[in-house]
Each structure stands twice: as structure tokens, then as C-alpha cells.
Structure 1
Amino acid sequence: MRALIRYTLANLFVSQRFVPPTFLYMVLLAVLTSSDPGPLVTVYAAAGGSLLAASVWITVAVANAEDPVGRWVLLANARRTSDIVIAIAASALLYEVALIGIGLVYPLATGHHTVTVSGLAIGAIAELTCALVGTGVGLLCARPVIVRTGVSTLAGIAMVLVVLLVKALPPVSPMLQRMTSGSAARTALTLTDAVPYVGFAILGAAALYGCGLLAHRVGRRRD
């Protein structure tokens, strides 16, 4: 599995498909968080939403870096479709972890915020949750689930909007609402305030698992 993940990451970097989603994330981060004097947790909500959109694109880029013939060769060596799905998700998440670090540091460098351990913890958990959900959505928008690029793009945009805007759909929308509510404006947050966000992260991991399972089943039929 480690070799498969290394190969998947190397293929992503060689293809340079990571550049457009990374650029999108940096632009959204700069526009939404630069010089923002608001509460740190609220700023991290904007960073999390930006990472959600970028994560979907990054996962699609990882999955589609292989052409169909290359995928067949990879499947012949991996022997199981599930291993390929796991490698794609793990590779995407490893790259997204680096973006999480940027998302945590950039608002501190460009804005004026009261930095607390609890605020950083909430931001990190929130961005991780968005990365998990975005990776799951990306698996459903990439090959072999969706083959055509145009359909994949439209599906990705639609699913990101649904995840962000449907208030009753956990975990991203309720989490971001909590982060931008009046209570988030308090600077005297404690680590206890970060506990509910762990639940959101667990839901995010469950969403990724469900999406990965669906992608595996579709891929097994089409491969």
C-alpha cells in the first residue's frame, strides 16, 4: 500500500494536475481571509470552505492522473480496486494536510487576531473535516464513477454547493454555521469548545468511507 501511495503521489506531481486546485485554494484564501480583523474561528470557517472546494478538485486530479490504460496496468499490479481507491484518498489527504497548514498560518500572517490554542484546534479540526468530505466528494466525481470531464466538473460544483448550503446536511454546513455564530466571536474560547468539532470530524471520516465504498463498487463493475 505504501508503494501504491508513493506511486500515486509521484504521478500527481509529474502530471502537475495539483497546480490548478492549489491556485484556486490560495486565491480563495487570500480573498476571504486577508486583512480580516474578525474572530479567528470565523476566519477559519472561510478557510475550511475554501479547502472543501479545493479538496474535491485535488481528489479528481489524483484519480484522473492515470489514463485508462495506465489504470488497467495499475489494477493488474494492485489486484484490488479497493487498494486503488484507498491510495487515491490517502494521497489526496496527504497533500491536503499541507494545505491545512497553510490555511492555519496564512490568516495569522495577514490579519490581526487573538491567537489561542482552542482557536487553532478548532480551525485545524474544521479544515480536516472539510478535507475529508471534499475527498469523498472528489471520489464520486472522478473516474471511473464519472468519466467525462465536463460532467465531472458540473457534478463537483453541484455537490460542493449542496454540502455548503444545505443546512440540514452534516457535517460541513452545521459546523460552519457554528463557527460563524455569535458564540464564535468570543476570544476566550477553551479547549472544551473544540470538543463538538471532533464529532464533525468523525462524521467527515464516515462520509469519506461511504463515498469511497461507493466508488469502489462502481469501479469494480466498470474495471
Structure 2
Amino acid sequence: MTALLRYQTSLLLRSHRWLPPLILYGAFLAIGVQTGQPILDSLGWGSAALLPVAAWLVRVCTTNEPPAARDCAAAAAGPARVHLAAVLTALGCSVVLGTIGTLLVAVVSDPSSADHRVAVPRPDATAAGLLTALACALLGTAVGALCNRPLLRSPGWAVPSTLLAALLVSVAGGSPAHAAVSGLVTGSRRGTVTMPLLPLAAAALIAAAATALSCAVAARRS
């Protein structure tokens, strides 16, 4: 699996298809985060912005190989393992991107409540922001795994489905990503930090199930 992860990472870096998701994430942060804003609100915005970026990265990684190269890799290591490596590569890139973005947001934000009256511990807020970003990255990965190949092969279906699913997962009341981000926003109003452990666990289970399903379909259709 290590060799497959290196292979998928090399493909991603050489393709330069990671640039549009990176630019999108940077644009989200530039629009929604300003110096001196309450830290928890800013961290919530940055985490929510990571969800569609993570879904986009899964699409990039799962469609990056030419068909001939994909067939060769599948013949050597198995189609399920190759697909799993692509999804894990996308998730790893999302986590790295989210970690960097969260740390930058934490540095430039004001460690206080929404009304700037209650001090918020920066280390605790940063930890909550990192966990929320991870939850959003996991949910975005699940969306990307379910809305792209091998389940949806046609770009005409895959791209709109990915966009719509990412939007729904971001705003739906029962979504772990929504719960984690809402926890930050609510904490900002009260001046308290709550670690989103339950939403993170739910996001991990959903991502694992979605990835397992997509890998099973990849093995069956190859």
C-alpha cells in the first residue's frame, strides 16, 4: 500500500490538477477570514470550506490515471487497493491543506468570543478547529468516493452530483460536518470551546463506509 500511495501522490503532483482545489480553498479563506475576527467563527468558516475541496480532490485522484495505466496498476495490485490508494491520497492532501489553513486562521484571528468580550484560549480553539477540519475532510472524502468513479463514471453525472452532495452535507442538520462547524459558531457566541469528538467519529465511520463501498464496486467492475 505504501508504494501505491507514493505512486498516487506522484501522479497528483505531476498532473498539477491539485491547483484548482488549492486556489478554491485559498479563495474561501481570503473571502471569509480577516485579521482580528473571532477565532472560532473564522475556524468554522475555514473548516466548512474544506469539505467541497476534499470532494474535488477525490475526483482528481480517482480520475488521474490514463485507462491503460489504471489497468496495469489494477492487474499488479488489485483494483480495490489501487482505488483505496487514490482515495487515501486525496484524504491525506485534504488533511494537510486543512491543517495549514487552520493554523493560519488561528494565527491571524482574535482569540475572543463573537462580541470580543470573552477571551478564548487559542490552543484549545486551534485544537477544536483542527478536529472540525478533519471531520469536514472526511465528509468531503465520503462525498467524493460516492459521487465519482467507479460508482458514477460519466462527468455529466459525477460533477453535478459531487457539487450538490457537498452542499447538502455542509448545510444538512444531521450532518456531522454541520454539527462540528455549528459547535464552533455556538462556542464563539458563548466564549467556550467544545471539541467535536462525536461528529468526528461519525464522519470517520461515514467516510470508511463510503470508501469501502467504492472499493468493492471497483473490484467488481474491473
Q: By the TM > 0.5 criterion, same fold?
A: yes
8 Å contact from structure 2 (residues 103, 126) kept in 1: no
Does residue 216 of structure 1 match 2:215? yes
Map of 2:81 onto structure 1? 83
CA positional deviation for 1:118: 1.1
Task: Show CA shifts across 1:91-125 (max 9, x none).
Answer: 11221222122221222344433552210110000
CA positional deviation for 1:36: 5.3
Q: Runs of 5+ in structure 2 lacking a partner?
A: 113-120
> CA separation in 2, counterparts of 1:158 and 1:42?
24
Q: What is the DSSP-based 3-state SS (H/G/I as helix, E as strand, rest coil) of the residue aligned with 1:180?
A: helix
> CA separation in 2, counterparts of 1:104 and 1:69?
39
Map of 2:2 onto structure 1? 2
Indicate how the Cα distance of structure 1 residues 36 and 163 shifts in structure 2: closer, same or farther if over 3 A, else same: farther
> CA separation in 2, counterparts of 1:188 and 1:174?
16
CA positional deviation for 1:203: 0.9
| Residues 60-209 of structure 1 mapped to structure 2, 5 A cutoff | 60-79=59-78, 81-114=79-112, 116-167=122-173, 169-181=174-186, 183-187=187-191, 189=193, 193-194=194-195, 197-209=196-208
Indicate how the Cα distance of structure 1 residues 145 and 67 shifts in structure 2: closer, same or farther if over 3 A, else same: farther
8 Å contact from structure 1 (residues 136, 212) kept in 2: yes
Q: How many residues align?
A: 214
What is the TM-score normalised by the length of structure 2? 0.89
The residue identity in structure 2 corresponding to 1:53 is P
> CA separation in 1, counterparts of 2:82 and 2:72?
12
> CA separation in 2, counterparts of 1:170 and 1:50?
15
CA positional deviation for 1:15: 1.0
Indicate how the Cα distance of structure 1 residues 214 and 25 shifts in structure 2: closer, same or farther if over 3 A, else same: same
Percentage of identical aligned residues: 25
Indicate how the Cα distance of structure 1 residues 108 and 172 shifts in structure 2: closer, same or farther if over 3 A, else same: closer
8 Å contact from structure 1 (residues 56, 156) kept in 2: yes
Map of 1:50 onto structure 2? 49
Map of 2:17 onto structure 1? 17
8 Å contact from structure 2 (residues 11, 64) kept in 1: yes
What is the TM-score normalised by the length of structure 1? 0.89
CA positional deviation for 1:139: 1.2
> CA separation in 2, counterparts of 1:103 and 1:73?
36
Task: Show CA shifts across 1:122-160 (max 9, x none).
Answer: 000000010111111111222222222232110111101
8 Å contact from structure 1 (residues 36, 43) kept in 2: no
The residue identity in structure 1 corresponding to 2:101 is G
The residue identity in structure 1 corresponding to 2:110 is H
Q: Over the residues paired in the alignment, what is the CA RMSD in angstroms?
A: 1.7
The residue identity in structure 2 corresponding to 1:34 is Q
